[in-house]
Amino acid sequence: MMVKAAEILESEKSSLGRLMTTEMGKTLRSAEEEAVKCAWGCRYYAEHAERFLADEAVETPASRSFIRYQPLGVILVVMPWNYPFWQVFRFIAPGLMAGNVGLLKHASNVPQCALKIEEILLRAGFPEGAFQTLLIGSGKVDRILEDSRVEAATLTGSEGAGIQVGSGAAKRIKKVVLELGGSDPFIVMPSANLDEAVKIGVKARVINNGQSCIAAKRFIVAEEIADKFERAFVSTMQSLKLGDPFDEKTDVGPLATADAVTSLHADVRKTIEAGAKLLTGGKPVQGKGSFYEPTVLSNIPTNSPAYREELFGPVASIFRVKNAEEAIRIANDSRFGLGASAWTNDKSEQELFINELEAGMVFINQMVASDPRVPFGGVKRSGYGRELSTYGIREFTNVKTVWVK
């Protein structure tokens, strides 16, 4: 059934992509890629779930002792709009393969995507009720969590939403996995391939029109190469084509809502008023659509939104540092700890970043990305628990100890 779901996602990527683009504005190219990535996740767990969930023998004095992984039951799945299919399939593929069922409360601005996901699973042969979409507002989430049939919850979203669902689960003593915001650092040291760092850095900032929890947001650059990096980065940001997300030539489409533009612009203005320097962009695009100019800020004051908050849109902040130790200090000076990217060909620096960066994921000489083969999740205010890989499929299982004398 999971393989069949993958086949549907792949064969209908064009129509599914158009649906995603229509509802939340991501480029059609990236939307189609999202459908294919969901298929990859389905195939990965269809192939590996049996091995991930197999009994694990443990050497003890018992004649037989082992660990068995069994499903918890009904899982409440609260998901955001920015990756309307992938975020949900990050639960579906491991969660259903483990034997659980899901109740989806999707973001209210992507209802057609939410219904289409349920339809795909039904067409793939999953029984009715194995995965249900609930078209409800956020105000009813707590009532569902209260239901005795619901055993656990998973949420991807804002800090506020995570606090609400996390505290609701805690007072009912129910398991919850939270994947919340991020203000990911992108560190560039003198030994890095600068051209590659600029190219990938821009991509990492404007991916999904800048609306990604693991998008690079704070660019922390060694003083020695900062001028060169800044010039190239600003030039590349200025060259991006804004426009119709259905146009294959478009690099950056609109933000998901008009309110998102208003909020982002307010944060940019407050940061500039606090003393930051505007290098390019810095304002909404006038006319039809919720567009915001690709923006680069530097000299970021510590009391500004660009230093402390997650700016959800195509806005990059550049910091200059003397060495790797200062880069780590600034990178860690955040309540978030989701992902981090560090660019260096110095092996000792690589090891330093791997050990010292406070993040759930550290990528060296590559942008942060989700991949079914490795765990996804953060530390600090970015949440807890893991999705994907072996760890993700076991999050919603009863890890049962069995001892046979």
Cα 263 from chain centroid?
A: 20
Give the position of tokens 């579906």: 92
Distance CA 102, CA 335 (A): 31
Distances (CA, A) of 234 to 276, 298, 304, 330: 15, 11, 21, 21
Across 174-270, the runs of DSSP E, i.e. the strands, are 175-179, 184-188, 216-222
Eight-state DSSP code of residue 105 = E
Amino acid at 389: S
Reading the block at residue 295, the tokens are 């923006």
Distances (CA, A) of 54 to 49, 67, 396: 8, 9, 15
Give the position of tokens 């195509």: 314
Residue 309 falls in the annotated catalytic set:
no
Burial 138-151 (b: 16+ CB within 10 A, else e): eeebeebbeeeebb
Q: Which helix (H) or strand (E) holds 380?
A: strand 379-380
Catalytic residue among 34, 42, 213, 310: 213
CA angle 199, 295, 269 (to 5 degrees): 155
3-state secondary structure of 357: coil
**186: which strand partners?**
219, 341
Residue 179 falls in the annotated catalytic set:
yes
Catalytic residue among 23, 34, 118, 179: 179
**Mind giving me the DSSP string for 284-330?**
BPPSSS--B--EEEES--TTSHHHHS---SSEEEEEEESSHHHHHHH
Distance CA 29, CA 177 (A): 30
In this structure, are residues 115 and 134 in contact, taking their beta carbons and an 8 Å threshold? no
Rg (CA), the chain: 22
Cα 73 from chain centroid?
A: 25
Residues near 48 by Cβ (< 8 Å), separated by ≥ 6?
A: none
Which residues belong to the active site?
Answer: 179, 213
